Chains A and B, each alone.
Chain A
Amino acid sequence: MTATFEHAKPGACAACNVAPAAEHLAELPKDATLMLSLPGIHCAGCISGVEKALKAFPGVRSARVNLTLRRAAVEAAPDVTAQDLTQLLERAGYEAHELDPGVLATTEADRQGRDLLMRLAVAFFAMMNVMLLSVAVWAGAEGVTRDMMHWISAAIAIPAVVFSGRPFYVSAWGALRGGRLNMDVPITLAIVLAVGTSLYETMMSGHHAYFDAAIMLCFFLLGGRYLDHRTRASARSAAQELAALEVPRALRVTTVGEETVPAAELAVGDIVRVKPGGRIPVDGIVTEGQSELDRSLMTGESLPVYAGPGTEVSAGEVNLTGPLMVEVRAAGRDTSLHRIADLVAVAESGRANYNSLADQAAKLYAPGVHILAVVAAVGWWIYTQDLRISLNIAAAVLIITCPCALGLAVPAVTTAASGRLFRKGLLIKDGTALERMSEADTVVFDKTGTLTTGAPEPVGLDSHPDEAMGVALALAEASSHPLAEALSGALRARGLRAARIEGATEVPGYGVEGIWRGKPVRLGRAAWVGAEAPDVTATFLSLGGEPPRAIRFTDTLREGAAETVAALKASGRRVILLSGDTRGAVQSFADRIGIEEVIAEALPQEKAALVAQLSEEGARVLMVGDGLNDTAALAAAHVSISPAAALDAARTASDMVLMGRSLAPIADAYTTSTSAARRIRENFTIATVYNVLAVPLAIAGLATPLIAALAMSMSSITVSLNALRLK
C-alpha cells in the first residue's frame, strides 16, 4: 500500500486538481456491501471505465464511483469478493484497494457536518432578512414603522437564534457546569442579552434593537465552526481510509484445510500460514518452515533476519522467502502493536499541556469581556439610576466585543493552510499541529523507511568480473527476496546476460543454489556460503572452490530526502539521525546524506527517552518516523510526521501524514506553518484593533445597531481575507 495515496497527482483534466475530499458530506449507500479505494482515478473517463468494468462482472448489481473521495461503492452478490474486483480493476488499468467498510464509520462526522451546515443556512436566511428590515430602521424609519420592523425582525430572529446557536449554548452550559469559562460563554451571554434587551426595547417601542447583530454573530461564528469541522473531518476521513486499507486477514490451518479469517478472530494456539511476501498478522512462534523476515518496520533493522522453527515473530513483520507456519501466541489487541500503546500513552501526556494560540486568546478574552460589560453596566447604572439603559449598554459592549473575528481567526487560517498542504500531499491530523510545527527547531529523522524507502540498491558491482555477475544474476532471478530482486534488476540494467545454471533452487531462509559448469554455486547469507558477516547489508556469492564474494547493498534514498535534509540544515535547524539499525549501516548512510549527529542501535524506549531529553533541554522536536519502534518517540515529540507507508500505530501517533512517496512536503510544511502561525497572530491583532476602536463607543453609549453591524462584518471579512494571504 506504499504508493497508493498520492491524492495530489497532477491530473489529466483540470477538475482533478481541485482540492480532493474536502467536501466530506457523503453518506455511503446503505446497501453497499463492498468499498474500493481508487487512488488513481481523476476524470470522467475513469468514472465510466471503472463503473463499466465493475458492472460487467457477474454478480455485481450496481457500482457507483465517488470521484471526490476516490472510492467506489459496489453492491454485489455475497459470493463476489473484494479481491475479485480489485484484480479486475487492476487488469483494466486502475489501481484499486479494498477498504474495510467497518472502519469507515464516518456517518457520525457526516451527521455533525450536515447539522452545522443546516444551522448555518438558517442563520444566513434570517440574517439576510433581518438585515433588509434593519436597513429601513437605519435609514430613519420612525414611530409605528420602526416598531413594525422591529417586531418582524424579532419574529424572524428569535426562532433562528434559538435554532442556529444551539452548538454554542450546549458548549457554554458544559463549561459553566464544569466551573470553567470558554469562548462560548461570552458568545451565549451576548446573544441572550442582545435578544432579551432588544425584545424589551421593541415592546417599549425604543430606538435600538440588536436583532440583526445577534443573528449575524451566530452566522459568522457558525461559519468558523463549520470551517473547523470540515478541516478536521476531511483529515479524519483520510486517516480512516489509510487504516481501512489494511484489512488484516490470516490463513488459519485447521484439520479440514485452510481458511481465510480476519486476524481479529484468531485465538491463541491456532496455527496460521504466512505466505512469502505476506505480513505476519499475529505474535507467535514459528513451528514449521524456514524463511527470512523483514523487521524494518518494527526495529528499524534494514537487514533481513533468519526465521526457522522456534523463532519468535511479531505482528507487522514481513515474511520474505519461504512459507511459515506460525503458532499464535497473541492476536488482535494483545499483540506487540498494542503493548507499545502504553509507551505511547505515557509519551503523549507530555504534549497534552500544549497551549494553543486560540486557547491563550480565549483565556485573556473571556474574563476581560465580562468584566468590561459589568463595569460599563454598573457605571451607567450609578450615573443614570436607569436599569434599562445600563442593560442596553452591557448588551452593546458584549456585541461590539464580538468574538466573530476571534472565532474565525484560527479556523480560517488552518483551513487555508491544510487545504494547501493537502494538495502538496501532506495530511494534517491535528488542529494545532501547524502552530507547533512552526516552533520546531530540532528535526529527528528515523532512517529505515523514512529517509530510505527500505528498498536496497547494490553498490560496487564493477569490482566483480562479469562472469561471476552473470552467475549471480541467474541465481538472483530464482528468488523473490528483496535483495535478490534488487540485484537482478541492477545487473539487468547493466546489460548483463544470465549464465546457464542447472537446478537453481531457493533454500528458504538461506539463499539460492545451483550447478554452474559442474560446480556448485550459491548466493545468499554469509554463514551459508562460508563468509564473515559484515556490519552492512550484503549478500554473498560462492563459485565452487573460490572464496566467497561480497555484494554490498546500500539503502535507496527516499525521493526528496537529501533536498529536505539540506533545506532544513540551511535554515539553521538541528538535524539528528536516530535509528535502530546497526552502527555501520547508519553511519555510512549519515555520511552520504550529510547528517552529523547520529545515534544508532536505539531501542524504542531509548528513542522516546532521547526525544524527551531534547525537549527538556528546551528544544522543540519535530520527529519524522515510520516504524513501531518510532511510535513512542513520535508521540513524545512536539510535533511529528509519518509517511503513508508507515505502520498504522505510527500514523495514529503522528500529527501529520505524508500521502505521497516524497519527503519534499516537509519543507513546504515548514514554510506554510510559519506563515500560518504569523497569520493567526495577525488575525488576533486585527480583531483586537477593531475591539479597541469600537469598545469606547459602546461604553460611551454611542454604539448604534448600525455601528455594531459594521464593526462585526468588517472585522470578520478582514480576518478571512488575511487568512487567504497564506503562503
Chain B
Amino acid sequence: MDILGILIPVSLFLGLLGLGAFFWMLKRGQFEDPEGDANRILTEDYDDKPKS
C-alpha cells in the first residue's frame, strides 16, 4: 500500500495539470472561433514571413 503515497499525489498532479491547461486555453480565447480555426488550417495562402 506504500505505493499509494506516490500514486495519489501523481494522479492529483496530472489532474491539476489538465485543469490548468484548460484554464489557460479558456483565457487565451481558444474557444472563440472553433469553426474558423478548423477551417484556417485549410487556407492556401503561403505566409512567407511571420505575421507582424
Instruction: Mark A residues whose CB is within 8 Å of B.
Output: 13, 15, 18, 20, 23, 25-27, 43-45, 47-48, 52, 65-69, 114, 117-118, 121-122, 125, 128-129, 132-133, 145, 148, 152, 156
Contact = CB atoms under 8 A, between A and B. Distances in A.
Contact of A121 (B19, B32, B38): B19
Contacts of A52: 45
Contacts of A20: 35
Given A44-B39, A125-B18, A25 B32 contact: yes
Contact of B19 (A25, A43, A125): A125
B49 interface: no
B36 A68 contact: yes
Contacts of B35: 15, 18, 20, 67-68
19 contacts: A13-B39, A18-B35, A20-B35, A23-B34, A25-B26, A26-B29, A44-B40, A44-B42, A45-B44, A47-B36, A47-B40, A66-B33, A68-B32, A118-B23, A125-B15, A125-B16, A125-B19, A145-B4, A148-B4
Dominant secondary structure at the B interface: helix
Contacts of A15: 35, 38-39
The CB with the most chain A CB atoms within 10 A, among B8, B18, B23, B33, is that of B33
Contacts of A45: 43-44
Contact of B29 (A27, A129, A133, A156): A27
Given A15-B35, A15-B38, A27-B29, 12 more contacts: A15-B39, A25-B26, A43-B42, A44-B42, A45-B43, A48-B43, A48-B44, A67-B35, A68-B32, A68-B34, A69-B33, A125-B15
Interface of B: 1, 4, 8, 11-12, 15-16, 18-19, 22-23, 26, 29, 31-36, 38-45
A52 B34 CA distance: 21
B43 A66 contact: no
Closest 10 CB pairs of A and B: A67-B36, A44-B42, A26-B32, A44-B39, A68-B35, A67-B35, A66-B33, A48-B43, A125-B19, A68-B33
A129 B14 CA distance: 10
A129 B26 contact: no
Contacts of A122: 19
A133 B8 contact: yes
Given A122-B19, A128-B15, A67 B39 contact: yes
B26 A117 contact: yes
Contacts of B8: 133, 152
A118 B26 contact: yes
B36 to A, nearest CB: 3
Contact of A43 (B18, B31, B39): B39
Nearest to B32: A26
B36 A65 contact: yes
Contacts of B38: 15
A47 to B, nearest CB: 6
Nearest to A148: B4
Contacts of B32: 23, 25-27, 66, 68
Contacts of A156: 12
Contact of A47 (B4, B22, B39): B39
A567 B26 CA distance: 46
A47 B38 CA distance: 11
A649 to B, nearest CB: 32
B1 A145 contact: yes
B18 to A, nearest CB: 7
A23 B40 contact: no
Contacts of B31: 23, 25
